[in-house]
Amino acid sequence: MGRTVAAIPVEAPSRKASRAHRRQQLIDATIETIAKRGYAQTTMTDVAATAGVSHGLVNFHFETKEKLLTETLLFLAAEYRANWTSALAAAAPDPASQLDALILADFNDAIYTKNKLNAWCAFWGEAQSRPLYQSKCGANDLEYIRNLELICEELASAGGYEINPKRAARVLRVTVEGLWLDLQSMAEPYSKGEALATAYTCAAAFFGKHFTADGMIRR
């Protein structure tokens, strides 16, 4: 007879971990619901149905629709910031590579999904959500803008470009934001590759020694 090996008990997830998992499930369901129904028309009942849980469970975790929408916006904002900051950290230190990293970050599959783009556009577009967005996400926007302006300033200096780097940064930023909005408003949206090429075309208009419509020029 072989020796009996005692089964190793599997540790059950902690209550805290389970709570966090459930909250994330509901936030994901909220993003999907906003994408389908819009900001104003989203209800906690809709979110519960999307998540396949009871209305009471949604109410237990978030209490009100306003709190649920706020937590959803905070999640999207934190995810977006983590995406572009990690992209910068992983890129080479030269300004062209840093700008390339920022452009590519906005088309990362982790954030560039139909549901998330729709949800972002819904938050941007609803007048009642604008004070919420500014109070919760304004600091993140300013951090991104400062980084983009600094990168454009360094690239203009390194490449001898006679441009206003702050304006170049602004045009690049609103171009990408416009692409996100455009892709949600068109009956037949173009591909992500075409959107990225459009963003690169904008970069090439300012920094033609470093970018083309196909991307960063590798040296």
Question: What confidence score (pLDDT) does residue 15 get?
Answer: 55
Question: What confidence score (pLDDT) does residue 82 get?
Answer: 96
Out of 1.20.1740.10, 3.90.79.10, 3.90.180.10, 1.10.357.10, the CATH code matching 66-216 is: 1.10.357.10
Question: What confidence score (pLDDT) does residue 17 get?
Answer: 53
Q: Please state, in angstroms and rounded to a whole number, the distance separating the CA atoms of residues 120 and 114.
A: 10
Question: What confidence score (pLDDT) does residue 128 get?
Answer: 62
Q: What's the one-letter identity of residue 130?
A: R
What is the b/e burial string over 209-219, where b = at least 16 CB atoms within 10 angstroms of the residue's CB? ebbeeebbeee
| Predicted TM-score of the model (pTM) | 0.85
Nearest C-alpha neighbor of 69 from the set 46, 100, 103: 46
Mean pLDDT by 10 residues, the chain (219 residues): 41 60 94 91 93 92 91 93 96 98 95 91 74 79 95 97 97 94 80 95 98 94
Tokens of 27: 């936030």
Question: What confidence score (pLDDT) does residue 184 get?
Answer: 77
Burial of 37 (0-12, 13-18, 19+ CB in 10 A): middle
Cβ-Cβ contacts under 8 Å for 91 (sequence gap 6 or more): 97, 98, 100, 101
Domain boundaries, the chain: 66-216
Question: What confidence score (pLDDT) does residue 127 get?
Answer: 61
Question: What confidence score (pLDDT) does residue 116 get?
Answer: 93
Question: What confidence score (pLDDT) does residue 16 get?
Answer: 57
Question: What confidence score (pLDDT) does residue 13 get?
Answer: 47
